Amino acid sequence: MTVAEPRTAAPRRRSGAWRRALRRDWPLYVMAALPLLFLLIFRYLPMAGNVIAFRRFRPGGSIFGDEWVGMRYVGMFIQDPAFWKVFANTAIIGGTTLLVCFPLPIILALMLNEVRRRHFKKIVQSISYLPHFLSVVIVVGMVYQLLSLQGTANQIVEALGGDPITFLQRPEWFRVIYVVSEAWQTVGWGTILYLAALTAVDDALYEAARIDGANRWQQTWHVTLPGIRPTMVTLLILNIGSFLNVGFEKVLLLYNPMTYSTADVISTYLYRVGLVSNNLSYAAAIGLFQAVIGFVMVMAANFISRRLVGTSLW
């Protein structure tokens, strides 16, 4: 708001402009001080703290470590077969989650979009959004109850003549459990942005398609889907960037030593190595590596999508 302050046309030096801004807007800068301090301490200090990946860290010592060891910890995990095992697990779980949980909201949004009764549509939406608000502990608690020896899943297995399965102790079941519970929790909430994009599709396009003799299916294929393509691409890029950050908390709650062979992912491995066994520098090096890969993948996905479909995040 510049009403109170007459603007001067003459160009000023930067320091003069800053002084003027401070004199006029000092309360705004004061208001910003506390949040800035917060961001500095709780966001930027940990970012800088990643240098312990290259420095030896002693508990009780400086949070930035004590002495340079260069790429030593990076070399350690690159030669660590356990690391590559969890890397592969992460890629498989992350990839499967992406394959299942990315298209599902699109399909659901298209289905909802065909519903004519508004109340029915609203009810379905409300119910499908609900799991989004649950704590991951509750979701995992539900999974444990449903998959216990007496749970619903095993009752079905027995009704079909099978023997009860200890789902949560079987490595071959872990990925299925993870992906299905993830889909259950995210599918409804994921439709919000698509439904918004669907309302923005121009009705004239449908009209034109009908005049050209397109049936409903063809209209969906040639009008609706291209209409929501920018949203799809944006969300896909974001999902690709975070796909190595496989739901750490959920894996931590769901896995146990019996399922490590398929369930252990990078973040749970670095949690155990770093915080349980106290090799903080080693774990920091792995964490940094994971972050760098995520960043590279977002950039790559962004670049490819800009080249191929002309949509990009920036």
Partner 1 sequence: MAPEAAPTTSPRSTTTRIRDSRSYRIFTVVNTTALLLLCAVMLYPFVMLLAQSFSSAGAISAGKVNLLPVDPNLDTYRAVANNDTFWRSYGNTVLYTLIGTSIAMVLTTTYAYVLSKKHLRGRGLLIGIAVFTMFFNGGIVPNYVLISSLGMKNTMWAVILPPALSVFNLLVMKAFFENLPTELEEAAHIDGLGWFGIFFRIVLPLSKAVIATMVLFYSVQYWNDWFAAFLYLDRTDLFPVTLYLRNLIAGASTAASEGAAASGSAVADINANIQSVTMILILVPILCVYPFVQRYFVSGVMLGSVKG
The interface with partner 1 within residues 150-179 (CB under 8 A) comprises 150-152, 154-155, 158, 164, 166, 168-169
Q: How far apart are CA 108 and CA 128, in angstroms?
A: 10
Asked if 210 interacts with partner 1 (CB under 8 A), we say: yes
List the one residue from 25, 74, 85, 103 that touches partner 1 (CB under 8 A).
Answer: 25
Residue 221 lies near partner 1 (rule: CB under 8 A): no
Could you say which DSSP state residue 131 is in? G
For tokens 């010592």, name the residue.
61
Nearest distance in Å: CB 237, partner 1: 12
Bin 213: left if φ > 0, else alpha if -120 < ψ < 50, else beta. Answer: left
Give the angle 14-17-20 at the CA atoms, nearest 5°: 150
Choose the binding region for partner 1 from 77-85, 94-102, 214-222, 304-312 (rule: CB under 8 A). 214-222
- Identify the CA nearest to 184 among candidates 236, 136, 132: 132
Does 52 sit near partner 1 (CB under 8 A)? yes
Residue 75 contacts partner 1 per CB under 8 A: no
Which residues 225-244 are close enough to bind partner 1 by CB under 8 A? none
The strand pair at 67-68 and 55-56 is best described as antiparallel
The continuous run of DSSP H or E covering 104 comes out as helix 103-113
21, 99, 304, 309: residue in contact with partner 1 (rule CB under 8 A) = 21
Provide, rounded to whole angstroms, the least separation between the CB of residue 87 and partner 1.
16
Judged by CB under 8 A, the residue of 267, 269, 301, 302 near partner 1 is 267
Distance (Å, whole) CA 90 – CA 169: 19
Residue choice 258, 296, 300, 304 for contact with partner 1 (CB under 8 A): 258
Q: Which is nearer to partner 1, 46 or 75 (CB)?
A: 46
Question: Which residue in the set 100, 102, 148, 272 belongs to the binding site for partner 1 (CB under 8 A)?
Answer: 148
- For position 78 contacting partner 1 by CB under 8 A, the verdict is no
Is residue 66 at the binding interface for partner 1, with CB under 8 A as the rule?
no
- Asked whether position 103 contacts partner 1 by CB under 8 A, the answer is no
| Pairwise CA distance, residues 203 & 195, whole Å | 15
